[in-house]
Amino acid sequence: MKFYISVTLTIFIFIFYCVACNSVDQSSPKIKNGRVYGEIPHFKHQWYHYYARGLSFAEGHFFSDACSDLQTAIHKRTKDQRNARTYGFHYMDYFPHRELGIIYYRQKKIKLAINQLKLSLSSEKSARAEFYLDLARKDLIQSDKLDHHPPNIVITSPKHTDFRNTPDLTIQGYVTDDTFVKKIDIEKRPVRMDLSQKKKTFTMNFSLKPGQNEILIQAEDISGKISHVSLNITLDRIPPLIAVDQLFEKEALNKIVISANIFDSNGLERFVIDEYAQNANGLQQIKISKTLPLKPNQKQIHIQVYDKAGNCTQAFIPIKDHTKAIFSNQLLAGDFMTDDSRKSILLSQQSTDNIGNRDSIFPVINLRFPREKKVTFLDFMYLEGSVQDNDEVSHLSVNGKNLLPFAGKKIFFNHIIPLKKGKNVINLSAMDPSGNSTGRTLKVTRQVPGVEQHEARLKIAIANFERDISATILSKCKNFENLLYIEMKKKQRFTLIHPEKLNVKKRRINDQEKEKIDEKSALLTAKTLHADYVMFGKITENQDNMTIYIRLVDTELPDTIEDIAVGVYTENVDRDQLFVLAQGLNFKLADELPLLKGLITRIMGDEILVDIGRKDNIKKGMKLIIYHIEKIKDPKTDIVIWEKFSNNGQARIESPQEAFSMAKLMKNKGLSDQKTQQQIITK
């Protein structure tokens, strides 16, 4: 009997305690400016009830009550998490550490704020936590006067910053600070920094323009101190000129005498005549007069001239056995001359006899490269050849630009001409002092390989975003999806499917009032549209702040491939700020899914090893396009004179490592071990 009385009493006390607690919680709402805060229907002491009520109190600036509820929520469920399951099919974003840190920041409890915000980010990344952690760090540094120096910028590549002969430049380095690095810009292009860091490494690719390039790298720390360094790099793609004036054979001494001028506007590095080599010490022009031994059965003289950028011009001058005066005050046909050129010279010489002393012999242009090249995948054309005249060549131009700083009997030249996409016309013209002029016209079409075209990039279908809008405000983020679509289309990193084409319906989840996107339906629809990813998003908008969070879900493997997720946050809730947020999301997405090139280093059945990895921001599930451009080079100059393109299928990253990755073939057109140096590009 006593046992039953004891049990009954215990149950009664428990029920009384629960009722008492509920009555206290239900009586806790606060009223401010006619609005009620902290009122949660059907409050059942669950972690999500305390969290929701804490947010409500925080919105009304009842910070003591908010802290109490958030701490209770943390005690019941420790870690911050997106889409935390409450009950049934109900989910919510749960960030108690973040919101508690923001309250501490507003209460000027800076160290407590930093601790809570770091705990939040250690569990789940969010733009709002990053924003407030940087604010708290800045306040602490300024109040304790911890910032003594501006950031220190170190460039690790390129090592030499004077002259280059290729336009592609990769700048690598790092920035350190005695507090935190907040911002890095390279020639006004930002390095992605979601959160300030003690040390930030960076890599950025540039395309240099011809001539001098000044690239400014600027870094700013969290307190606003700024430092900068400049790289001065000259892109020189114009090789030196060689003008041969005389070439005599001293028969008795078995020697050859050569007289020539060499020139480069940015400075000569060295020159080589057969086996004789000499440094040029950066001089722009050198007059060469050299006597060299003539080897038995020697057929030609080989001249090589290098400039400071590494460009090289070569001349192969034939030695004629039948004459002692090989090249002196007369026209030398040379080994580049065609039969048509010889005929034109003969006709010109005949016309000279008819008109007396007047020079009517036209200069002759001989091209070694290109050889009937009409289509190319390269973004430049390489010209190599010579021009000669019985008197001297005074003018040689390519597309109207004169290349000659001086006149000469026979000019050897190399020239690189940038090509635009599509058809290109190249005009060469040579003239002698008498005004005799010769012209050549070349036509070439530059094709962009299919793997580099915009249509080959990842296809993303944009779904309409979910919205969590405060009941007290008029939303300013209507049609944000369309704004983001326009911004992403403008940058052309991805191909896109507009939300209207996806046309995914919303559905209710049980008795939940808010409608949610039917993700399964969206993925199925996007797959029929051949999309690689579906973009889902959520916009949270309050009176004084806005958060936009988006994630990409793989249409083929939605349950096995980790989502790509980024977010932005602002406290400037203004219509114009939406453009900035759209730019920020696109910038972060392009960084999460970078457009990279690499090489296949090994093939193992249906798996390949590639030379890009986590250091390049490569992630599991990313798709690769495999292709090969066979480059045919001239054996004498090592210059690419022809190329052939082939698309060999696709692969998906399976296991990314720091410097390399393992990928599995998806669409294989016949890879073999003999083709391990094939190229890959991220889709």
Count of alpha carbons within 13 angstroms of residue 480, beta-carbon side:
31
pLDDT band at 328 (very low <50, low <70, confident <90, very high): very low
| CB neighbour burial string for 608-622, b if at least 16 within 10 angstroms, e if fewer | bbbebbeebbbebbb
pLDDT band at 675 (very low <50, low <70, confident <90, very high): low
- Which phi and psi angles does 566 have, rounded to 5°? -145, 160
pLDDT for residue 552 is more than 90:
yes
Window from 112-116, 132-136, 632-636 with minimum mean pLDDT: 632-636
Please give the mean pLDDT across all residues of the chain: 85
Across 141-169, average pLDDT: 93
pLDDT for residue 184 is more than 80:
yes
pLDDT for residue 353 is more than 50:
no
pLDDT for residue 387 is more than 80:
yes
* 403 compared with 340, residue with greater pLDDT: 403
Edge-to-edge strand order for the sheet containing 300-307? 276-279, 268-273, 300-307, 312-318
Q: What is the tens place of the pLDDT at every residue in 509-549?
A: 444 445 577 888 899 999 999 999 999 999 999 888 999 99
- Which phi and psi angles does 232 have, rounded to 5°? -110, 110
pLDDT band at 570 (very low <50, low <70, confident <90, very high): very high
- pLDDT attached to residue 637: 60
Across 561-566, average pLDDT: 87
Edge-to-edge strand order for the sheet containing 395-398? 375-376, 437-446, 422-431, 395-398, 401-402
DSSP 102-169: HHHHHTT-HHHHHHHHHHHHHHS--HHHHHHHHHHHHHHHHHTT---S--EEEEEE-S--SEES-SEE
Across 151-173, average pLDDT: 91
Q: How are beta strands 437-446 and 375-376 bridged, if at all?
A: parallel
- pLDDT attached to residue 12: 46
Between CA 381 and CA 426 the distance in angstroms is 10
Domains of the chain with bracketed CATH = 2-143 (1.25.40.10), 152-235 (2.60.40.10), 242-450 (2.60.40.10), 452-591 (3.40.50.10070), 597-682 (2.40.10.410)
Q: What is the tens place of the pLDDT at every residue in 244-257?
A: 887 776 655 688 88
pLDDT for residue 238 is more than 80:
yes
SS3 330: coil
Q: Which are the contacts of 662, defined by CB distance < 8 A and separation ≥ 6?
A: 607, 608, 609, 653, 654, 655, 656
SS3 229: strand
Across 279-283, average pLDDT: 94
How many other CB atoms are found less than 10 A from the CB of residue 585? Answer: 23
**Nearest in space to 660 (alpha carbons), one of 608, 611, 598, 603:** 611
* 227 compared with 338, residue with greater pLDDT: 227
Window from 1-15, 23-37, 200-214, 382-396 with minimum mean pLDDT: 1-15
Q: What is the tens place of the pLDDT at every residue in 359-369?
A: 789 999 998 87
Q: What is the tens place of the pLDDT at every residue in 222-237?
A: 999 999 999 999 999 8
How many other CB atoms are found less than 10 A from the CB of residue 30? Answer: 15
| Residue 657: C-alpha distances to residues 202, 400, 595, 613 (Å) | 19, 52, 18, 5
Report pTM.
Answer: 0.82
**Nearest in space to 119 (alpha carbons), one of 135, 133, 136, 140:** 133
pLDDT for residue 221 is more than 90:
yes
pLDDT band at 468 (very low <50, low <70, confident <90, very high): confident
